[in-house]
């Protein structure tokens, strides 16, 4: 069985208010060409199809049109789509019966209340091909507390692993012909490297592969944007396009080939050309604003890229810096986004932190989170008046929640 593994498309994403539909269209063009050349038996899309649970009509149109093009190109290819933490599982599943006519299988959510365990769980195990060439065990994004208590007395912390293992047991019962078994999961897997990924960690909350019986031949992962292997059978394919400036690395989709259950899969990648890169000027050490501005002015006119300036400051005082940077890009194809401020000391001007784990975020004051976001997006500190208004609003919301 040949598998094409991809994830984290984030259709509808905008970078500092710049529309990115042309980038996603270019991604789909390459993806369809890859399908044409590789002729996979199944394409597995491991979550975060959209960037938001309420995608725009334009984002949905882009998705639907290209999935139909994919089917026209490879009508025998099956497609398995699972929801990620950015998706609305119920929205993805609304037209799943219609998609079945195009060999596309959608799994948007995990059913918490299961009446018939074996019947209910079999919906997550998808035979590939007629006759079957293999199976995909499709597990959409689910928070730990929302996994069903299959055995009736499983602690919350163990329910995700129990759910995965139970599905693999059922797949083994179905797999009488020793065919390959692929797991598709949208999760943070322990041992993975997020590489400064600027999204809040979610999903299965550091699922430990050691808790999952190795009854699969390949685990296809989504959620971490940096493509990477974890062992010999587990891989993040990575995101389709850079979703932040910290994702200035090669992006790709993964091709997997395996003939029989138990065989070691052959894994290779197909690089995705980017029509617009993310570029930090200068790339490594920050410089004074005037020097960074000169470097921006010298940036090639015909090179298409998103630009942020890496600026060293003692005390922020450049109220016109953004306007000057925008003027410096006049006549160029590049797009100025913001200024990354770093102090003369170690780290950034906000204390050296621009990304936080889920656990750290839970312990932070909401106003501090708002200030961090404001500075990251605007390039300068939130002023006292706005901070006071924001603080008052947060207090009112918290009080209202307590009254409910």
Predicted TM-score of the model (pTM) = 0.84
How confident is the model over 114-119, as a mean pLDDT? 59
How confident is the model over 196-219, as a mean pLDDT? 74
Report whether CATH 3.40.50.720 matches the domain 2-271: no
How confident is the model over 374-402, as a mean pLDDT? 68
Token match 């890859």: residue? 34
Cα(162)–Cα(165) distance, rounded to whole angstroms? Answer: 5
- Residue 223's nearest CA partner among 206, 208, 203, 242 is 203
Is 358's pLDDT higher than 60?
no
- Could you read off the pLDDT of 21-71 as tens digits, one per residue? 999 999 999 999 999 999 999 999 999 999 999 999 999 999 999 999 999
Q: What is the CA radius of gyration of the chain?
A: 23
DSSP 265: P
How confident is the model over 107-132, as a mean pLDDT? 83
How confident is the model over 76-98, as a mean pLDDT? 95
The domains of the chain are located at 2-271, 284-352, 364-404
Is 356's pLDDT higher than 90?
no
Strand partners, 342: 312, 348
Is 97's pLDDT higher than 90?
yes
CA angle, residues 24, 28, 29, in degrees to nearest 5? 115
CA angle, residues 48, 53, 55, in degrees to nearest 5? 95
How confident is the model over 154-180, as a mean pLDDT? 93
pLDDT of residue 111: 84
Contacts of 13-18 with C-beta under 8 Å, sequence gap 24+, read: 13/51, 13/241, 13/243, 15/243, 15/244, 15/278, 15/306, 15/337, 16/306, 16/337, 16/338, 16/377, 18/306, 18/335, 18/337
At 201, the pLDDT band (50, 70, 90 cuts) reads very low
Cα(137)–Cα(80) distance, rounded to whole angstroms? Answer: 10
């Amino acid at each position: 069985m040949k598998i094409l593994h991809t994830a984290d498309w984030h259709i509808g994403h905008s970078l500092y208010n710049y529309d990115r539909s042309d980038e996603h269209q270019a991604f789909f063009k390459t993806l369809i060409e890859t399908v044409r050349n590789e002729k996979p038996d199944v394409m597995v899309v491991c979550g975060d199809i959209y960037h938001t649970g309420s995608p725009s009509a334009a984002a949905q149109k882009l998705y639907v049109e290209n999935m139909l093009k994919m089917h026209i190109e490879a009508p025998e290819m099956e497609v398995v789509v699972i929801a990620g933490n950015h998706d609305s599982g119920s929205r993805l599943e609304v037209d799943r019966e219609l998609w079945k006519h195009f060999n596309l299988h959608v799994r948007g959510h995990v059913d918490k209340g299961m009446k018939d365990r074996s019947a209910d769980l079999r919906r997550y195990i998808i035979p590939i091909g007629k006759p079957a060439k293999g199976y995909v065990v499709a597990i959409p994004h689910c928070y730990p507390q929302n996994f069903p208590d299959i055995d009736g007395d499983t602690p919350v912390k163990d329910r995700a692993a129990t759910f995965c293992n139970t599905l693999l047991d059922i797949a083994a019962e179905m797999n009488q012909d020793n065919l390959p078994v692929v797991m598709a999961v949208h999760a943070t897997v322990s041992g993975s490297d997020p590489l400064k990924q600027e999204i809040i960690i979610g999903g299965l909350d550091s699922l430990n592969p050691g808790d999952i019986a190795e009854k699969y031949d390949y685990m296809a992962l989504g959620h971490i944007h940096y493509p990477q292997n974890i062992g010999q059978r587990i891989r993040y394919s990575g995101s389709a396009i850079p979703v932040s400036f910290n994702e200035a690395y090669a992006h790709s989709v993964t091709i997997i080939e395996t003939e029989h259950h138990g065989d070691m899969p052959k894994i290779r990648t197909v690089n995705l050309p980017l029509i617009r890169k993310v570029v930090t000027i200068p790339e490594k050490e920050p410089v004074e604003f005037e020097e960074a501005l000169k470097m921006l002015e010298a940036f090639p006119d015909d090179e298409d890229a998103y630009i942020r300036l890496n600026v060293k400051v003692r005390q922020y005082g450049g109220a016109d810096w953004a306007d000057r940077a925008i003027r410096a890009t006049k006549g160029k194809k590049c797009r100025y986004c913001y200024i990354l401020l770093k102090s003369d000391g170690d780290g950034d001007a906000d204390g050296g932190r621009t990304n936080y784990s889920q656990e750290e975020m839970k312990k932070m004051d909401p106003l501090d989170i708002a200030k961090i976001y404001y500075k990251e997006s605007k390039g300068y500190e939130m002023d006292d008046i706005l901070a006071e208004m924001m603080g008052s609003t947060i207090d009112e919301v918290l009080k209202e929640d307590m009254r409910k």
